Structure 1
Amino acid sequence: MDKVVNIIEFLLKKLLISLCALIVVAVTWQVFSRYILQSPSSITEELARFTLIWISLFGAAYAYQTNAHLGLDVVTNKFTDSAKKGAEMFRHLVVFAFAVLVMVIGGVYLVDLTMVPAQTSAALQIEIGFIYSAVPVTGVIISVFSVNKIKQAFLLTERA
């Protein structure tokens, strides 16, 4: 399981680097074409918007895996060690439930809703369902990460 998680994390990092480079190029071209060429590009605004959606979703999965997400630990810092482990287990179970119920199941419904009848973006002529497909994919990734974190928390609890 750890090997699969490491591969997903590596690929996610490379995807995020690529998406960040893409959004920088798109926004730079938009500014250049608007102010220097006096002829704004019609596709770069939409491309930047869609790229930002993907960066946000995949970035959230990466942040969850690397424990970089914002967290408030004011209450849990006052817990005993065993209570902290229980709270951590509960946290990962809630994340798993949210990822599966909202992101995977709800995301598949959202993609299906925008694919039939096909909704296309105005400038790029991409089916919106392909853009929204990042939601269930991210949900699956977060689910895998949370199952791994639950397994690790369980093994730590078992050893103690």
Structure 2
Amino acid sequence: MNKSELIFNKVSRILEIFMIIIFALLVLDVLFQVFSRYLLGESFTWTEEFARFALIWMTILGAAYLNGKQEHLSMDFLYDKFSDVNKQKASILIEVLIFLFALIVMVVGGLNLVYTTLILEQLSGTLRIPLGYVYAILPFSGFLIMCFSVYHISNILKNKINN
């Protein structure tokens, strides 16, 4: 196993653990909300907001994770008809487009969103945390997707050279 595979596997494992923790907190939060509403007769408003933020983080990190594992949604009926050489070219093009999307929309746009909300000192309604911290997951996940795309392109090129 080379160094890039080792780093890829470690990053993927850390993402898995982090998403499991977020999911566990989300489940506990919802269970606490149900418990407090029906057994205590009191509803805590912060639980809904925490659940929303946890779901946002889990979804965006999940997109990065699935991109890394190349298990994201795709329609490959046309791709399957390509020759091996054209499959490699199409795979590189797809990874470049994913890289550019992650760079422009997620990293640049995400950093702009984080910066704007932090400068404007926008706070979440109930938890009163700066929304820039919540939105920071967007450029972080975009950066991960970019790294995964570079990793995939290098693997495609490596396989092309070995064949």
TM-score (norm 2): 0.95
Which residue of structure 1 lines up, in the alignment, with residue 93 of structure 2?
90
1:159 aligns with 2:162: yes
Which residue of structure 1 lines up, in the alignment, with residue 56 of structure 2?
53
Which residue of structure 2 lines up, in the alignment, with residue 120 of structure 1?
123
* Amino acid of the structure 1 residue aligned with 2:108: I
Which residue of structure 2 lines up, in the alignment, with residue 7 of structure 1?
10
1:4, CA displacement in angstroms? 2.1
The alignment-based identity, stated in percent, is: 37
Which residue of structure 1 lines up, in the alignment, with residue 111 of structure 2?
108
* Amino acid of the structure 2 residue aligned with 1:95: I
Q: What is the aligned residue count?
A: 160
Residue of 141, 145, 151 corresponding to 1:142: 145
1:77 aligns with 2:80: yes
Whether the 8 Å contact between 1:92 and 1:150 is mirrored in structure 2 is yes
1:95, CA displacement in angstroms? 0.7
**Equivalents in 1 of 2:70, 2:39: separation in Å?**
42
**Equivalents in 1 of 2:44, 2:62: separation in Å?**
27
* Amino acid of the structure 1 residue aligned with 2:58: I
1:2, CA displacement in angstroms? 2.4
1:94, CA displacement in angstroms? 0.7
Segments of structure 1 that go 5 or more residues without pairing to the other structure are none
* Amino acid of the structure 2 residue aligned with 1:91: I
TM-score (norm 1): 0.96
1:37-79 CA distance string (max 9 Å, x none): 2211111100000000000010001111112211110111111
1:125-159 CA distance string (max 9 Å, x none): 11000000000000111111110000001111222
